[in-house]
Amino acid sequence: MGERHGFSTAALAAVLAQAESQPTILEAMSRPAERTLTWYGYRERFLNEQRIIEGVAFWQEHRELLDEISRAQGVPPQYLVAILGVETYYGRITGRYRVIDALSTLAFDYPPRSGYFTDELEQFLVLAREESLDPFTPLGSYAGAMGAPQFMPRSMRKYAVDGDGDGKRDLWSGWPDVIASVANYFRVHGWQPDAPVLVEAEIDQAHARDLDTRRLDLTETVGSLREKGVLFDPSLPDDAAAMLLAADEPHAMRFRVGLQNFHVITRYNRSALYAMAVYDLARELTARVSRDDATG
């Protein structure tokens, strides 16, 4: 840190000496993985009535700001709201661990991912200096994700923006900064304005064994999926990049096709279930807000 970023080694040692290792973080990281969640089980976690009601209220409260940022960045407001809803219940649940404790614990006491978290600790300390933050003040998740959008330090340094022009990037309570930063993340990762995100599909069962629904990369095209017996919106161009998704329901398997904008959502969290939850929540919020607007 001294050689790369010009930190005083004595001052940095004093800061790190006050970081506290958290056994509960190590337990959370080392806990055996839960059973694989089904899509319908995962969906129930994020599309419950409370999350929808709070999302509608958040959208209505910040509508002018959302519309302004949406026009500037090309990302529809429903996806900005849905990301915040899935991540932190619209900023209500942002984590209870001091970020420096979380990152220090995982950098120094968790060998399997020490390299990654050492880098994030480095980024956090640089970020604290850049933003004039007391390094002991920010709270976040047990993995060190911060603020309403749950950015890791490297992502915050790279993608967070000053949405209100006050010279700071406040991702905890500065809604112009929070919303503009999520929109910027989407834009930088290739969001296509006015383009579809996901379409429902059916499969010709004779071709089912040739299909792979496990990939999160755009290794297929609309045309190649059609050639493999996947049936969906005929208006989509054959050369559009695509991925096939499995959405298991209680009594059947449903299939969907994710497009470029769906892929962008998976850059926020590399999980097809996560991205589908964001998509479905965004659709539900849109329907509710539209209905409220229509009824006055």
Structure confidence at residue 207 (pLDDT): 66
Using one digit for the tens of pLDDT, what is the confidence trace for 231-285?
A: 999 999 999 999 999 999 888 889 999 999 999 999 999 999 999 999 999 999 9
d(CA 255, CA 257): 7
Task: Check pLDDT > 70 for residue 36.
Answer: no
Contact yes or no for 131/117 (Cβ under 8 A): no
d(CA 84, CA 93): 10
Using one digit for the tens of pLDDT, what is the confidence trace for 17-31?
A: 999 999 999 999 987
Instruction: Report which residue type is found at 212.
Output: D
d(CA 136, CA 18): 9
- Given the structure tokens 């539209």, which residue do they identify? 290
Rg over alpha carbons for the chain, rounded to the nearest Å, is 21
Structure confidence at residue 17 (pLDDT): 96
Q: Catalytic annotation on 49?
A: no
Structure confidence at residue 237 (pLDDT): 96
The residues with which 256 forms a beta bridge, in sequence order, are 200, 245
Question: What are the extents of the domains in the chain?
Answer: 21-29+93-188
Residue of 87, 120, 220, 284 with catalytic role? 87
Instruction: Report which residue type is found at 137.
Output: T
Topology of domain 21-29+93-188, per CATH?
Answer: Helicase, Ruva Protein; domain 3 (1.10.8)
Structure confidence at residue 143 (pLDDT): 96
Contact yes or no for 266/272 (Cβ under 8 A): yes
Mean pLDDT of the chain: 94
- Average pLDDT of 42-62? 96
Taking CA 259 as the corner, what is the angle to CA 207 and CA 53, rounded to the nearest 5 degrees? 115
Task: Check pLDDT > 90 for residue 208.
Answer: no
Using one digit for the tens of pLDDT, what is the confidence trace for 121-162?
A: 999 999 999 999 999 999 999 999 999 999 999 999 999 999
Query: Among 5, 2, 18, which residue's Cα sits nearest to residue 136?
Result: 18
d(CA 241, CA 260): 6
User: Quick count: other Cβ atoms within 10 Å of Cβ 190?
Assistant: 11
Chain-centre distance for alpha carbon 99 = 18
The residues with which 254 forms a beta bridge, in sequence order, are 247
Lowest mean pLDDT among 167-181, 182-196, 207-221: 207-221
Lowest mean pLDDT among 39-43, 63-67, 76-80: 39-43
d(CA 222, CA 290): 31
Q: What are 190's two structure tokens?
A: 């290739």
